[in-house]
Structure 1
């Protein structure tokens, strides 16, 4: 019997944001490729009320089709009202109210067996409301900031906890995340660790010297892949640069924190050794990973960052902070180092790798268990179990 899955995700790419939630899209495609499952994606789009919605910044979102075929997936993009900068708690109510008629109609045509919420907030509390309205069991996946941030904020923590309590099953991107959820009071017995996947055919080993030459890089290169936000720790990397006199730091990502980082680089006199790559299309990341000697991401919090796994798959060792699933991933010294969130400690770890670089083949070995096939197998079994027990 085919499992009919409603995948609810506010993290999902579109034509205007091709990098937005690419890991969710890849997971959805893996599940949909199975003969045992059909997947319908509902990816709600938040827009402020008129006339704020007429702002140029929202034009790409207003132009999105409300239904489309996106890389072999049927994706619905219903809109819901948001209040810019003050959303949070109210987004759950407005989103659930806006998308319920669509979900009712789809459910009447072909009944769903289970709801798979891809992120704990706001997706989890919305799935909880849809479940109650339609009598469909639901699962929620915790990825990082959805628990560490939304699960601790006064206005949203109760909604996160209630969504976890009423879910038929839960997923955590790492065992460390599972423990964080249990500390919040969620039932540890119904939480399954569900590791991310990496496309090992795309993120593959390449000749580093040739990759540097192709991109016109020279000397030691440290790459950081992540949104330019304080939580990701790029400031610590810039502060580490004076202790790494020959190193070029490349920041792949975008965000409002860029100006702060530019100013800091100028203050420290390292602005010529900091490159801002902007938002790099996901399919172009492998060649940049291949050209880097180290990928560093000293985040304040993570679940199990896709950038960690992708870098390792390309044979590039990582320097990361002791957050989330860091210790689950770095299972061998060749893979990299876990460091304190301190510029000097970070610089020392980077220099140690540059002085004694590991064999790329050994680095890659630590990523080879993170396949999308394994991810899809685990997700299918998890959702089938929920549907069977409903």
Structure 2
């Protein structure tokens, strides 16, 4: 077993005193880098929370990250995200974690079926070198496809156990394609541990033939120290020019997030303002939609924001609206609630597991502008106390998730040869 290092305080359970370091390699294409600082931020945050948990409980844990990026010959913003990938350095650092960025070949539009193999081939040599200088114990992979499948291949080549965490589209969309579904089924059978961030995604894995006992639900938490209610909300609203009831829509500007649905609801919500936080390929289209519907003066596009700035928008807004058509466990919901702001969200996949109390906000179904507008009107007319919303979010601290992760790793490693 893995023990607490001698001299460290015990705060979780009584264990024998013996110093032995657990070395965990996080493997995912979803991880921040200097060119894309918010890319895969949810994976990075969970890793940071695991490390904090280990330090607080005296558990000896070391973590490093391998976050492959697609190869692209030109480092220029003229080529969009491909140009940004091309500009990513071979190594970077994120909040004290060493991150390697090996390259792999990703063919636009036609590379989906070959992606796991190409990803594994691109990462093998860097992982082999890392293993020689820093012999890691376990690969902690995030996102089932292609990342988790590639991690299983790497685990077989390097004789390392692999844990795969599924987060959303990797189980609620990609298995609809025949070859990826076969890859996913194979990887799930080979994995030493399987994690999903909500019960709805666990049901998807079970539907693919995985035994329920092999899947652990470890939901995302929220950083209650970063996301807090404002000390002077009115002053903050004045600063951010929120002079009318204001909705917030946060997320990458892609069809799945449903920003266009929130804009489409505004004609039924006179006097309501909307702030959209995020960046992505739909920016021009969303602006055109707002103009076409005659609500452009009431829609503001704030771009992608760091947590410190996003916290202010959460705290000042009257409600966060999440109109996604698919979600695993949407972190923005808990971040908003932690700032005291209730939510209105589409009732899809894991979202009802997050918005499970009137203190949290309201769900809407069907996923239409009319249904969304109806629930927004109801929430604005009778909002829960902001203190109650914050209290609800406090039930989603990271502690139990990090403890569950460590316990899973601990159970797996003694059984390895």
Shift of 1:16: 1.0
Equivalent position SS for 1:88:
coil
Of 4, 9, 12, the match for 2:31: 12
Is residue 27 from structure 1 mapped to residue 52 from structure 2 by the alignment?
no
> 1:23-102 residue pairs with structure 2 within 5 A?
23-33=42-52, 34=54, 35-48=59-72, 50=73, 56-57=78-79, 58-102=82-126
Instruction: Show CA shifts across 1:158-201 (max 9, x none).
Output: 11221111111111101121112211222211111111121111
Contact persistence 1:250–1:276 (CA under 8 A): yes
How many aligned positions are there? 388
Residue in 1 that maps onto 2:374 = 348
CA distance in 1, matches of 2:211, 2:135: 28
Instruction: Show CA shifts across 1:47-98 (max 9, x none).
Output: 23x5x67784345433433223321111111111221233222221122111
Equivalent position SS for 1:262:
helix
Q: 1:374 to 1:283 in 2, by over 3 A?
A: farther
Of 162, 169, 172, the match for 2:186: 162
Instruction: Show CA shifts across 1:77-123 (max 9, x none).
Output: 11112212332222211221111111112223332221100111211
* Worse overlay, 54-63 or 118-127: 54-63
> 1:301-312 residue pairs with structure 2 within 5 A?
301-312=326-337
CA distance in 2, matches of 1:68, 1:281: 19
Residue in 2 that maps onto 1:339 = 364
Is residue 387 from structure 1 mapped to residue 406 from structure 2 by the alignment?
no
Shift of 1:310: 0.4
Q: 1:280 to 1:68 in 2, by over 3 A?
A: closer
* Worse overlay, 247-256 or 84-93: 84-93
Contact persistence 2:166–2:195 (CA under 8 A): yes
Residue in 2 that maps onto 1:198 = 222
CA distance in 2, matches of 1:135, 1:109: 16
* Worse overlay, 245-254 or 204-213: 204-213
Contact persistence 1:139–1:167 (CA under 8 A): yes
Residue in 1 that maps onto 2:3 = none
Of 235, 260, 266, the match for 1:241: 266
Q: 1:237 to 1:69 in 2, by over 3 A?
A: closer
Any stretches of 5+ residues in structure 2 without a counterpart?
1-19
CA distance in 1, matches of 2:179, 2:398: 35
Residue in 1 that maps onto 2:317 = 292
Is residue 110 from structure 1 mapped to residue 134 from structure 2 by the alignment?
yes
CA distance in 2, matches of 1:323, 1:371: 23
Residue in 2 that maps onto 1:371 = 397
Instruction: Show CA shifts across 1:247-270 (max 9, x none).
Output: 011111122222222222222211
CA distance in 1, matches of 2:239, 2:24: 43
Equivalent position SS for 2:341:
coil
Any stretches of 5+ residues in structure 1 without a counterpart?
none
Contact persistence 1:208–1:292 (CA under 8 A): no
Name the Cα RMSD after superposition: 1.7
CA distance in 2, matches of 1:142, 1:322: 20
CA distance in 1, matches of 2:60, 2:68: 26
Asked which structure has the greater RCO (Cα within 8 Å, sep 6+), the reply is 1
Q: 1:72 to 1:55 in 2, by over 3 A?
A: closer
Residue in 2 that maps onto 1:228 = 253
Equivalent position SS for 1:141:
strand
Residue in 2 that maps onto 1:281 = 306
Equivalent position SS for 1:347:
helix
Is residue 180 from structure 1 mapped to residue 204 from structure 2 by the alignment?
yes
TM-score, length of structure 1 as denominator length = 0.95
Residue in 1 that maps onto 2:176 = 152
Equivalent position SS for 1:121:
helix
